[in-house]
Structure 1
């Protein structure tokens, strides 16, 4: 290793060490051991422009072992991204650009939010899939406008997580040859030597997944690391794992032990480490001029690479103006003008239709107008109805828009997130709603990143029926509604489904989930209701129940129709009920107080009906209201029977509604008597 290389690598090491020490919190071990890998990638291998971190054809880098964030922030600073020394000095502090784990949108150059182990690898697989698809769609002979690699770094913990098995298997099946990951094989985890819990042959495992695996014996050997990358690039039909033997905490007194994994080195430990590596012991956040100059070569290289690409793209756009304009549009995150006109409308005289089936009709109706919509299901395409009928299978033809994820719910949703932040696509993944449990960590990351990820869940309630309690979601709506910045959609019919899809496409800075019915549902009348505007506001009145109704009944999804029939039963007893459809809590909560009061006037008692946990409904129905929900699991029987036996029928709605009204009248009478 030349002196300049060593100087530059140590500058990286000690920016990270000093950041951790100043914060008195963090992980110095991985930055000390992995700095040569980061240096090689950002200084020499990767095609990236620090002055434009959103250049569409940049190589991506994902730090899957996100606890090594001090390494990432330091390498971004040294390379010339918009991260200052002051930002490094504020590592892990309030409102800093350098939080404890990488957060998408916080620091310039961070490609995705990582930290929960395994998800960085999963999102990188999604990015590589996006690159492969977009290359097939837009590239032409002599015009490879989509041509980049996805690089990453992961550790033992990433590979212990189950999701790594899901996505590594699929990445091999899909032949993602432009995916190259470095594996920090340092033999240490937080609890101690990896042999305590992790003894498999990683090389054989990944080779079985159809990956190329290359071993590097010394993580400080730049020549060997570079040769491994060059070898990886030659293999175009397989992803590559470069297994690198490193020393955690390299150069420190605790090198090679778990004691250096997750805590600062301490003042004396920092001094000793600097002494061991020939670094000034009395200087913090120090970058020698020669090292800074060497690192900043990345700026000139990056600007040249992007300029060359811009020249190529200008020629491409001249030769293929329609494709060029579309490429610019999708990467700008803009929708085709007038695309919403392709959305179908379902006449009220039509047959009842399940909202999962309506969703398929919508997807195929808008397919040509929203070519960036891309995704598939976790081996449930026939059940969730999430397939483009006129498009190929991505595995067979990379230009195809249908991705067969296999039974890999968590991996699927994490890959969707990677596709979303890659740019150029609006990705979706689909499975049964009950299996959103398997997806939850990825859904949470989508919300943290505010990525344009769409999760289509079907078989949304106990109406699933015969499959029984294991397949009948109960608490799932409430659990996902509790996630900040996640938009929920549970439409009552096909027309609401179309409106929900429109909003899911339009809300580009919000992830979305659908909860769609298995069973057929009647249709709302689009000639009498402005359904899109109603859904856009989250809740709206579908039956007025007179000027001064005695009761408001609110439902979501299939239970809206139980509410409508329950209101009709109450009318026979002289009780007027207004019926509200509430397809989205998130959208309703975004409305102003005046609109909220117009839907739920404080003086009118309220009854909520939803085939799920009732927990959150009380903020809408108040202390005088009631909720018909489920505080138990479902049962195995025909869906209509399960619904009826558990109280989701018009008679029970009328009974509970009448009790609320009578209680309110007694209270009013008592107050009048006083």
Structure 2
């Protein structure tokens, strides 16, 4: 008789509750190892790792579905240590599970090249899902992981009962008092509650101690009530023996209550869960437990010895592990293999039942772009009316909707301004959250972040880290300031999240200086590993999206205009005096848009080189026309993404921006501060100037502000004439012009 397939139930913990004397002994071993590792390094955070050892043990050994041998198993639950300073909490469980770390790795904590850096780093240590350390971002990004799981479920297996799909998994977070205090966690938790993300479980380590010691100095709110108000299920577990306040006369570990709370959280499908766990930081260090002193410093030899004696360990031994206990804890690998086999059976059944979805799944796993991707992008003709690049971006997204189901996103309450809604696509909302205006479902595609820019950026980071779908978030460029910590972390992790930033300059007009970005382009370009793309017209916008979606390994922001911009003529460079290069040059970061020509219309070496981005490219084109009429061969370079241009080979860069004794004078034109443009406008052999904006704008029509602040054909032409005159009078040996040319 054929065996019946094993039913999959991902709502249950990985196994029934087990916590025998050997488990307790191994947990105590991990506490001591945490103290030993920090003492050996001379710095670190031992306290939380000591007190959370039994918590992490329950998660890894009993509750989570994971495969210690395969950190990339798609059926795994995800674990996020939002309290990244307590990195040993994670490292020690990976060691105990045989998941890629050995005792030498623990001994090498916080040393150069080790697998155990001071904070967990994704792509560096196996089984680390994201880089954590900046408090709050782990929990907020975990909401994005939960979003991703639900969207992927909707793409691949929408109708299977909860817990019975191979694409069901949970996201577990350990968060600290510091995480809960950070504003971004409230932003993201509010969204998680609104979205009823039952796949998200947060263990809040309420030890009430931080670097400045007692959190009462700044933090006395009722966190449980706050999270209930946000729509979360809140459960309480106490490891302090029920003591009120901050005096802890004794300690009562209660692993069974914790397991029961985690099991209940897994079975709750209509709300995220916060388990408020009361612990004693640094237990059982005799004099430093429950103090700020054990939070971020080594115990010291005397305190460490006393701690070991309290737990029955030899104070003369360091990094001591009973081989039998380690062998027992690493049996997790065998249990995991059995669970994974069940999952693989379920996946094969699904493949047989849903062959089309299986093909999509395989493509997503292989990170292949869809068939029809290149052909899906719209194009615009130069004889069409002007179009704002934000509007062009919206048309691109709608065109991609059918061919690229993994692409989804939305806006921080600015969808109508950011043009981030794909035409006709439903909202990502639980059934009971829908309204007459916003229809959709739990697997919908249009995201509504509300006015929560920081959380939006964290959430798209989490979605991107999930690995199979691509998400974008929109807001005004000036509000990218709210997102900067998440942008930096995305760049640090190499996470391909996408941001749509509109209203990109003083050209937005009457909203005034609060909404007119001035320093933002330079500030964003200062983040290593972040691609900042500012297209000049509709066709460059399409190529910006094409390039961003074709690249992985780094985040990107597409910077778009509110005001309409002319569609630049597109033809081969040899097509005549008014021809422009193809917008495909966008993918190279900077390219020759209009070539210099002599009086007979033939291609010529340029005497003037105009470099511009975004809406200012049209000003460069107008200035070129005037200079060409005066007999001055002038090249226009559109430079939508300096990061992509830097990636090009030297020969190409020198072709676009020629150097040498006969190099042209160079002028950059961008409606923002000039910081960053010096290296492109001044060389050892050519003169340069930067037409920029070194002050805030004002409330007036955008066209008036552009004229008032010098972003005009006349100003560019006058600047070019002045540089040419200086070059003629002084030659290349005279010090080059370096000042900014601005009003």
Once the two structures are superposed, the pairs formed by residues 210-229 of structure 1 within 5 Å of their partners are: 210-218=231-239, 220-229=253-262
Aligned twin of 1:34: 52
Q: Distance in 2 between matches of 1:416 and 1:200?
A: 29
Match of 1:24 among 42, 50, 53: 42
Q: Distance in 1 between matches of 2:404 and 2:570?
A: 23
Aligned twin of 1:627: 690
Given that residues 581 and 592 in structure 2 are in contact (C-alpha distance below 8 angstroms), is that contact kept between their aligned partners in structure 1?
no
Aligned twin of 2:706: 643
Q: Distance in 1 between matches of 2:155 and 2:372?
A: 22
Once the two structures are superposed, the pairs formed by residues 92-491 of structure 1 within 5 Å of their partners are: 92-139=110-157, 140-141=159-160, 144-218=165-239, 220-252=253-285, 253-395=287-429, 396-491=440-535
Aligned twin of 1:592: 649
Given that residues 183 and 242 in structure 1 are in contact (C-alpha distance below 8 angstroms), is that contact kept between their aligned partners in structure 2?
yes
Aligned twin of 1:535: 586
Match of 1:601 among 640, 658, 662: 658
Query: Are 2:672 and 1:612 equivalent residues in the alignment?
Result: yes
Q: CA RMSD in A?
A: 1.5
Cα gap change, 1:572/1:390 in structure 2, threshold over 3 Å: closer, same or farther? same
Shift of 1:570: 2.1
Secondary structure at the aligned position of 1:363 is classed as helix
Shift of 1:233: 2.5
Cα gap change, 1:530/1:42 in structure 2, threshold over 3 Å: closer, same or farther? farther
Query: Are 2:615 and 1:563 equivalent residues in the alignment?
Result: no
Aligned twin of 2:29: 11
Shift of 1:617: 0.1
Number of corresponding residues:
671
Given that residues 4 and 290 in structure 1 are in contact (C-alpha distance below 8 angstroms), is that contact kept between their aligned partners in structure 2?
no
Q: Distance in 2 between matches of 1:271 and 1:592?
A: 59
Return the structure number with greater helix share. Answer: 1
Aligned twin of 2:250: none
Shift of 1:587: 0.4
TM-score normalised by length of structure 1? 0.97
> Which stretch of structure 1 is more off in the superposition, 549-558 or 518-527?
518-527
Given that residues 386 and 565 in structure 2 are in contact (C-alpha distance below 8 angstroms), is that contact kept between their aligned partners in structure 1?
yes
Shift of 1:14: 2.4
Match of 1:551 among 603, 608, 617: 608
Shift of 1:670: 8.2
Cα gap change, 1:669/1:325 in structure 2, threshold over 3 Å: closer, same or farther? closer
User: Which of the two has higher C-alpha Rg?
Assistant: 2
Q: Gaps (5+ residues) in structure 2?
A: 1-18, 241-252, 430-439, 573-579, 598-603, 735-743
Shift of 1:18: 2.0
Secondary structure at the aligned position of 2:635 is classed as strand
Q: Gaps (5+ residues) in structure 1?
A: none
Aligned twin of 1:507: 551
Q: Distance in 2 between matches of 1:526 and 1:320?
A: 44
Shift of 1:195: 0.5
Secondary structure at the aligned position of 2:514 is classed as helix
Q: Distance in 1 between matches of 2:306 and 2:408?
A: 53
Shift of 1:522: 1.0
Shift of 1:316: 1.1
Secondary structure at the aligned position of 1:129 is classed as helix
Shift of 1:534: 1.1
Q: Distance in 2 between matches of 1:46 and 1:131?
A: 15
Q: Distance in 2 between matches of 1:502 and 1:286?
A: 55
Shift of 1:7: 1.1
TM-score normalised by length of structure 2? 0.88
Shift of 1:38: 0.2
